[in-house]
Amino acid sequence: MIIKRAELETVCGITSRLPENIHQEFAFAGKSNVGKSSMINGMLGRKSLARTSSQPGKTQTINFYHINQSFYFVDLPGYGYAKASVEVKAKWGKMVERYLKGSKRLEMVFLLIDIRHEPSENDKIMYDWIVYNGYRPVIVATKVDKLKRSQVPKHVKMVREGLGMEKEDLLIPFSAETKQGREELWELIEGAL
């Protein structure tokens, strides 16, 4: 995929109405420090379109990035580590739920999981919840560059079992640093387009 244009088009907060986009949407969900912004930037070949932060939980809105004026990457608020009150976290949950149930153009959901660790309780809840809402999430196992190559199969198995994935569910090891997994992800997206 050649990226000619990529721009942040819409930012939706807790009270915002979701945009009624005419183009397909590909959503990215994951824990606050899993590397969502780095992945989006890496996929698009941009340095800082999606803002990365050393402080987890920076994305507190649903961000719609219009790509080549033909589809959207949708960055969902990170869950887990954000230093937010229970009340605010509940509102983020409602916002994500509203998006998953309400978007008419959502094509695919990517759930990012740090490959180095067993999926957390929040990861499992998010996975089950995406499935409950009618989607088979593609699992993107981030930070694969932090493992030795020989460790990868064991960690892939740990993530698959930890989430209770079905055999046919996709898991793609990914690195924003080395770009491993980028081509496989683009193939899936282009296939859906």
Question: Residue 121 in 3-state DSSP?
Answer: helix
Mean pLDDT of the 110-134 span: 93
Instruction: In whole angstroms, give the CA distance from residue 40 to residue 141.
Output: 14
The model's pTM: 0.91
Percent of the chain with pLDDT over 70: 90
- pLDDT one-digit tens code per residue, 154-192: 999 999 999 999 999 999 999 999 999 999 999 999 999
Structure tokens at 94: 């409602």
- pLDDT one-digit tens code per residue, 69-98: 999 999 998 876 556 667 766 776 778 888
Q: Which of 108, 133, 128, 126 minimizes the C-alpha distance to 185?
A: 108
Q: Are strands 6-12 and 62-67 parallel, antiparallel or unpaired?
A: antiparallel
- For residue 101, the tally of other CB atoms under 10 A from its CB is 10
Residues 6+ apart with CB under 8 A from 18: 12, 62, 98, 99, 102, 103
Instruction: In whole angstroms, give the CA distance from residue 21 to residue 73.
Output: 12
Q: Which of 149, 131, 12 minimizes the C-alpha distance to 74?
A: 12
Query: Higher pLDDT residue, 100 or 16?
Result: 100
Amino acid of residue 176: A
pLDDT score of 17: 85
pLDDT score of 178: 95
